[in-house]
Amino acid sequence: MAKFAVFFTFKGETIKGLMDNPTDRAAVVSSLCEAAGGRMDAYYVMFGAWDGFVIADVPDSKAAAAISLAVSSTGAFAHIETHELLEARELADVLSSASSLAYTPPGG
């Protein structure tokens, strides 16, 4: 399983709808993750540039993309941003792989 963080911002009309008819959004998101073969770890709302975020384990990036597209297609969100998460202990392997690569910038 791969772990993803999904940050979101509701549209104004979505917030109005939630105010008029409060529902358990975490349960909805959890069911969506399960339908994609994964599970939701956490669902938080917050103040600031983002209205909230979800942390979920899903089979792969294709599943994460499918979830993101399904949610985006509702039109309820102003912005959704998905990031794959790596465990801190994986950094050594990533750095080792990076050190074996060479990149030449354009014109260089």
Locate the domains of the chain by residue range.
Answer: 2-99
Structure confidence at residue 108 (pLDDT) = 65
Structure confidence at residue 107 (pLDDT) = 86
Token code pair at residue 108: 């260089």
**Assigned CATH class of 2-99:** alpha beta
pLDDT in tens, the chain (108 residues): 999 999 999 999 999 999 999 999 999 999 999 999 999 999 999 999 999 999 999 999 999 999 999 999 999 999 999 999 999 999 999 999 999 999 999 986
**Residue 107 exposure: Cα atoms within 13 Å on the Cβ side:** 0
Using alpha carbons, list the distances in angstroms from residue 16 to 6, 20, 24: 22, 6, 15
Q: How far apart are CA 78 and CA 104, in angstroms?
A: 37
